[in-house]
């Protein structure tokens, strides 16, 4: 019970980080917002995957790879402010 309570806290915090990243990205700091968005989404997907009873690798690898590619895109933006 205590383990799932901690995972629920991680999911809530990661959703807050994603929302903050979206607000920052919309307001003009695209690189910072995208980096926050990728970290929050990866934390959310890891916390969600650990709560599954039946664990398939594709349910973890695909969202994490999308977050890694989003992070790489944010780093490679030439003139992001």
Cβ atoms of 15 and 41 within 8 Å: the answer is no
For residue 55, the model assigns a pLDDT of 82
pLDDT tens digits along 2-60: 555 687 788 888 999 999 999 998 998 888 889 999 999 999 998 888 887 888 888 88
Prediction pTM value: 0.80
Judge whether residue 72 has pLDDT over 60: yes
- Find the radius of gyration of the CA atoms of the chain: 14
For residue 81, the model assigns a pLDDT of 55
């Amino acid at each position: 019970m205590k383990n799932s309570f901690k995972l629920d806290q991680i999911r809530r915090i990661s959703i807050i980080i994603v929302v903050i990243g979206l607000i920052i990205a919309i307001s003009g700091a695209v690189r910072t917002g995208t980096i926050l968005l990728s970290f929050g989404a990866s934390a959310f997907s890891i916390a969600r995957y650990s709560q599954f009873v039946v664990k398939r690798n594709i349910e973890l690898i695909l969202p994490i790879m999308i977050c890694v590619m989003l992070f790489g895109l944010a780093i490679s933006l030439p003139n992001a402010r």
